[in-house]
Amino acid sequence: MTRYFEDFQVGDTFDLGRTSATQEEIIAFARQFDPQPFHTDPERAKESFFGGLVASGWHTVSLFMRLLVDELINETISLGSPGVDEVRWIRPVRPDEVLHGRFTVMDSKVSQSKANLGIIRSRGELLNSSGEVVMSLLGTLCWLLETSVRKIGLLCLMKEASCQSMCSASTINAVPFAPVF
């Protein structure tokens, strides 16, 4: 099922499923992107503030992003995001800890400058198995309005077959509808 901007209402909450990271994945990510000892070295991590190996906060955000894309964004005609306003790492994430993702619509409006663009402010969260939030973020996402997509489809039906390439999903997600704020 394809979701459009109109399918998101303030207060809607979406279950994004579960994920985890092994010790090896935590170390590999950290070696490449955040090489602090409490992310890369289990022995040195025991002596740290955390008392053991923990995932990088950026790894935690990446785990959330994967759930968001797999469980929600891939079902939409997403135009991406102009950014994240706030990220909080509330509790450390340990190897093999099962995390649950949640996405909540905080606000939604049609763009004033682009009538085919819907803007959604959201809260994303990862929770541990005890239901405690380990990571939260506030961000903005953009989607096409269903009416815009239907107009594009109608135009393609009215024109020659060469227009079909213009109306492909990849083109809809590309330049003609890039958000301008």
Query: Quick one: which of 109, 113, 137, 115 has its CA closest to 125?
Result: 137
pLDDT tens digits for range 73-130:
999 988 999 999 999 999 999 999 999 999 999 999 999 999 899 999 999 999 999 9
Secondary structure of residue 7 in the 3-state scheme = helix
Separation CA 121–CA 139 (nearest Å): 6
Query: Quick one: which of 45, 55, 50, 48 has its CA closest to 24?
Result: 55
* CATH of the structural domain 5-177, one choice from 3.40.50.1980, 3.10.129.10, 3.60.21.10, 2.60.15.10: 3.10.129.10
Whole-angstrom CA distances from 92 to 31, 53, 122, 168, 172 are 18, 9, 23, 42, 39
- Residue 148 pLDDT level (bands cut at 50, 70, 90): confident
pLDDT tens digits for range 135-145:
999 999 999 99
